[in-house]
Amino acid sequence: MAEQFLGVRTTFQTDQAPENRIVRRVDDELSLLEPNEGPLITLLLQLKKRSSTDTPRLEWYEDDYVARWVNISAAGAASGVTTFVLAAPGMVVAGDMLVVPGVVTSNALPEIIRVTAVNTDGITLTVQRGFAGTTTGAIAASAPLRIIGPSYQENDPFPNSKVRRPTAILSYTQIFRTSCQFSKTQVATKTYNAPGGERQREHKKKLKEHKIAMNASFLFGKASETMDYAGTGRPLRTTMGVNSVVSTNGTAVDAGGSLTYKTFEEFSRRAFRYGKNTKLLIGAPIVKSAISFWGFSKLMLSPGETRLGVNIQKVTTAHGTWLLANDWMLENSAQGSSTGFGGMAFSLDLDQLEMRYLNANGENRNTHIIENAVRDGRDGYMDEILTEAGLIVKQPLYHTKIYNVTDFTTT
């Protein structure tokens, strides 16, 4: 029989046994709970890189400047040829000047070519070779040409325009669920090392596991949406992860096994080519070991300190500064195994990352604990930690990965 009482009904009764029906919002607790476990999640929450969305589809547009490099077709062009074909259309207009670069060891003045006309196919060019008094030469098949800007005569006709079309990018919110079950006898039993009871202790542990799972998806997930998964008529969505974005943007660096300082410098150059000059570096322990060793002679390292709840070391290079966070989730499948993620590090521009949680029409899907989520008459409780959230990774070239680090050189 339901309990009867006099007076004002408040949340006090709702939060007490036998009800225990208040839903706990724990997103802030999630950022403070074991902050060095899942540092990406922690920093996104602490830096307020989190907002709500009213749709599970996370869509934005990305744009870029017009091309700076083009490639000649596989046919190439002999020294005196004044008509040749590019590999892709729409890259140049009449008036553009192109430079034929030589090998990096050469000090010879390269040939400059001026485009005088572009065929309607967009790839066939009529050009003036040896422009500005430069020397002509054969252009190899598929050779790269650098666009160095236009040159027009006085009172020329209005030039054609080159336009980049913005690209629509999609990520999705993913449903994360972590369950725990208790018999009411267990809940009513006093146990060691659990002053608030076994249920409360298990909630804290499951929150940590929930956070680790989300962090892993934000690192290694890939955006997908299946509206009729396995013929069930129910949609299944997964969020994008930084690895799926960075691995396809052309800036991943292969360490080749034993990481050298020279390769690390290449990684640094690529990492700071675009975006901010201060970025987050999430690395496997072996990468942090290399950086710590080189800090004695080659890198400027600050002592480790806690920033935004995460143990961070500042690494200053000639190209920019990293906030280095060790992530033990970047690990191999077993001790001594060569299979896994233990040789990776990600350089991330935090300005281009954001976490979105679904929240509309009075239903908030940010991280929360639902106590006694299933009431089926059993003598126990079925609790659940639930989040429906996704990651947005904008501007892929702002982020870089190094991989295949199995060791590092000490010279």
CATH annotation of 9-64+167-411: 3.90.1690
Could you tell me the pLDDT band of residue 282, with boundaries at 50, 70 and 90? very high
Span 147-188, pLDDT tens digits: 998 999 999 999 998 888 888 999 999 999 999 999 999 989
Span 351-386, pLDDT tens digits: 999 999 999 999 999 999 999 888 888 899 999 999
- According to the model, what pLDDT value does residue 2 have? 52
The sign of the CA dihedral 346, 350, 352, 356 is positive
Q: Please report how many Cα atoms fall inside a 13 Å half-sphere around the Cα of residue 312, on the Cβ side.
A: 21
Q: Is the pLDDT of residue 21 over 60?
A: no
The CA distance from 107 to 74, in Å, is: 26
Choose among 180, 186, 100: nearest CA to 147.
100
Tokens of 62: 């990305």
Choose among 243, 276, 247, 285: nearest CA to 36.
285
Q: What is the mean pLDDT of residues 237-266?
A: 90
Could you tell me the pLDDT band of residue 112, with boundaries at 50, 70 and 90? very high
DSSP per-residue codes, 151-170:
---TTPPPPPP--PPPEEEE
Do 123 and 86 touch, CB atoms closer than 8 A?
Answer: yes
| Least confident segment among 19-28, 184-193, 223-232, 250-259 | 19-28
Question: 């962090």: which residue's tokens?
Answer: 215
- According to the model, what pLDDT value does residue 250 have? 66
Choose among 282, 274, 243: nearest CA to 41.
282
pTM across the whole model:
0.79
- Whole-number average pLDDT of the chain: 87
Span 196-208, pLDDT tens digits: 888 988 998 999 8
Tokens of 319: 């190209």
Q: Please report how many Cα atoms fall inside a 13 Å half-sphere around the Cα of residue 127, on the Cβ side.
A: 32
- According to the model, what pLDDT value does residue 1 have? 47
Q: Is the pLDDT of residue 94 over 90?
A: yes
Choose among 92, 172, 176: nearest CA to 366.
176
Could you tell me the pLDDT band of residue 388, with boundaries at 50, 70 and 90? very high
- According to the model, what pLDDT value does residue 25 have? 55
